[in-house]
């Protein structure tokens, strides 16, 4: 039964391996298409679903935020079960909240946090190759952290962009850090916004520093003399996760489901 139009925000988790990206693309599967089809199946009406950020083919999300407007008379909590019934196995709604009618999940975001996972192994890892970048060590963690510290702050990040789309390439990176465990490396980045492929370029460049194939000073050089896409190699998409989008909106406080991957004492992967 139709009622007053309401704006519904969703917290989505998805595995990106089967999608050409989050944004709808002609002739290719996308998370947006899957969600819009699920909303249509549940309500009988088609509506556009807006996303907090675009993720590329193969990139995952633990807390992507989407929003749509509907006149369906469905309580916010029931959207979760209803949409999950129609969504494919690789996408699931984790939370749903009613928000103001003008809520734009992209423009209203304070910042976004991405994690990038590297699995350390000497052999192929069939269970991990769709969820992380599988590499063998050793790595110089101190050199990698120095490179990451150089990336923090406001910089011209053109060298770390896969493309610029004609827009500006100055960004402010609030956090760039590295955590190491026995089995892997985890990069964590936080910023109000990112350039296309920026995180994957940063990870690939820092991995090269950690292996000793380039010196840590290369990062400073790339920031000082930017040339689009010069940083790299580009880390593959399967290790990248959108883990959080933050808002000031009271309705979206406390709805997070991801508490962060477990912390462990640092393992010293050195190049010695």
The residues assigned a catalytic role are: 56
8 Å CB contact between 93 and 83:
yes
* Cα dihedral 6, 9, 13, 18 sign: positive
- Tell the residue number behind the tokens 């002609």, with chain if given: 26
What's the distance, CA 118 to chain centroid? 15
CA distance 96 to 247: 15
- Tell the residue number behind the tokens 């949409």, with chain if given: 83
Q: Give the contacts of 14 (CB within 8 A, at least 6 positions apart).
A: 31, 60, 61, 64, 90, 91, 92
Q: What are phi and psi of 103, to 5 degrees?
A: -65, 125
Helices then strands, counting H and E runs in the chain, come out as: 5, 11
Query: Encoding tokens for residue 50?
Result: 């807006």
Three-state SS sequence of 36-104: HHHHHHHHCCCCCCEECCCCECCCEEEEEEEEEEEEECCCHHHHHHHHHHHCCCCEEEEEEEEECCCCC
CA triple 61-229-223, angle to 5 deg: 100
């Amino acid at each position: 039964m139709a009622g007053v139009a309401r704006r519904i925000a969703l917290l989505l988790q998805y595995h990106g391996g089967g999608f050409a990206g989050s944004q709808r693309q002609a002739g290719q599967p996308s998370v947006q298409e899957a969600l819009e089809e699920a909303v249509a199946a549940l309500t009988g009406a088609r509506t556009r679903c807006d996303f907090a950020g675009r993720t590329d083919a193969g990139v995952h999300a633990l807390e992507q935020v989407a929003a749509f407007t509907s006149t369906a008379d469905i309580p916010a909590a029931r959207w979760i079960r209803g949409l999950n019934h129609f969504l494919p196995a690789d996408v699931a709604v984790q939370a749903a909240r009613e928000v103001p009618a003008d809520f734009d999940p992209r423009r209203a975001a304070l910042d976004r946090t991405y994690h990038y996972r590297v699995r350390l192994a000497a052999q192929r890892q069939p269970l991990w190759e769709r969820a992380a970048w599988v590499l063998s060590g050793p790595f110089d963690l101190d050199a990698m952290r120095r490179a990451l510290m150089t990336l923090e702050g406001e910089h011209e990040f053109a060298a770390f962009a896969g493309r610029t789309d004609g827009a500006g390439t100055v960004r402010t990176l609030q956090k760039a850090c590295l955590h190491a465990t026995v089995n892997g490396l985890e990069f964590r980045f936080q910023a109000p916004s990112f350039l296309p492929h920026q995180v994957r370029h940063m990870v690939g460049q820092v991995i090269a520093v950690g292996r000793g194939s380039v010196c840590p000073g290369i990062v400073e050089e790339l920031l000082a003399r930017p040339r689009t896409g010069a940083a790299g190699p580009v880390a593959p998409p399967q290790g990248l996760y959108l883990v959080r989008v933050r808002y000031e909106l009271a309705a979206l406080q406390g709805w997070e489901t991801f508490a962060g991957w477990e912390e462990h004492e640092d393992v010293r992967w050195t190049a010695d």
